[in-house]
Amino acid sequence: MDGLILIHKPANVTSHDVVAQLRKVFSLQKIGHFGTLDPMATGLLLVAVGKATKFFPFFSTLDKSYQGRIRLGFSTDTYDSSGVPLGVDHADYPNSEAIRLAMTAFEGEIDQAAPPFSAKKYKGRPLYTFARKKRSVELQPFRRKVHFFRLKNYAPPYLDFEAKCSSGTYIRTLAHDLGRRLGCGAHLAELIRTEVGNYRLTEGFSLEEIKALFIAGRFDRFLKPLETLLPAFPKIVLTESGRLLVQNGRPVFPEHMVQPLPGEPLYSPSPGEPQAVFRLFSQDGRLVALAKGGNLSSLSPVLVLT
């Protein structure tokens, strides 16, 4: 059983809990997720099964989109509604134009620090272990990209927003920093992840639906096969001798490739293009490896699916 599952994670469940439940349902240990969702958050969680777990480096960099609600008036120690309020509630709320202007300041390339209560590691330990002991940790901020951070609706003290950002961006920190910029404090009240790369929440299944489909033997309904993953990478079909070379970790050359690709345009790199990643297939349609090369003169496998 190998492939990708799109889960609609419920609130008050950790991403690890979702993986643990699926391991129990499938009686399979080789399962992992591609990007943590906070327990309070709901929405799209990508879960890899079997050989698909090897694709983490390629999925971990995908952009993510969210919708959510921010509560103005006070911040919390966790930057969300699960935390302890830091100060009194400020009832002098800004108007919608001031909020829109403040939100645009966070669009583009920004430096962002992880929240104190997060799983980000410091000296091998999650930050929340220090925060629980009231120990502050100074971490260097990380460069992130916020494609947009928009106001959808405003009914003080709550504002509804939508955002799209690079992997690793903390929406809790956006909410907290927005409150500081507005001068009234703020924290994240609700959050739903709607997209990861080209995958959408509307394609996701609840854990109960996955269990029912698994019992019915309808894997085709919820499991995206390896061969359908990473479609942005060009597809190369290998000869049998090429497949054997790749599965032994050796590079392949044009004589090991079936040309032209059936039903697909022939890959032609642009001048100066860096090494691209290619999906290598056997002639019976199985994905056998991912490989890198500046062009089709030589492809070296970087991930072999034996």
Q: Which of 2, 17, 38, 89 is catalytic?
A: 38
Cα separation, 78 vs 171, in Å, equals 12
User: Which amino acid, one-letter code, is at 29?
Assistant: Q
- Sign of torsion, CA 16 149 197 200? positive
- Length, in residues, of the chain: 306
- Which two structure tokens, joined as six digits, stand for 104? 């645009």
* Number of Cβ within a 10 Å radius of residue 168: 16
Q: DSSP letter for 40, please.
A: T
Q: Catalytic annotation on 38?
A: yes
The most distant pair of C-alpha atoms in the chain lies apart, rounded to whole Å, by 72
Rg, the chain, Cα only: 23
Of all helices (H) and strands (E), which one includes residue 5?
A: strand 3-9
Cα separation, 113 vs 174, in Å, equals 10
* Number of Cβ within a 10 Å radius of residue 91: 10
CA 50 to chain centre: 18
Cα separation, 148 vs 164, in Å, equals 5
User: Which amino acid, one-letter code, is at 80?
Assistant: D
The residues assigned a catalytic role are 38
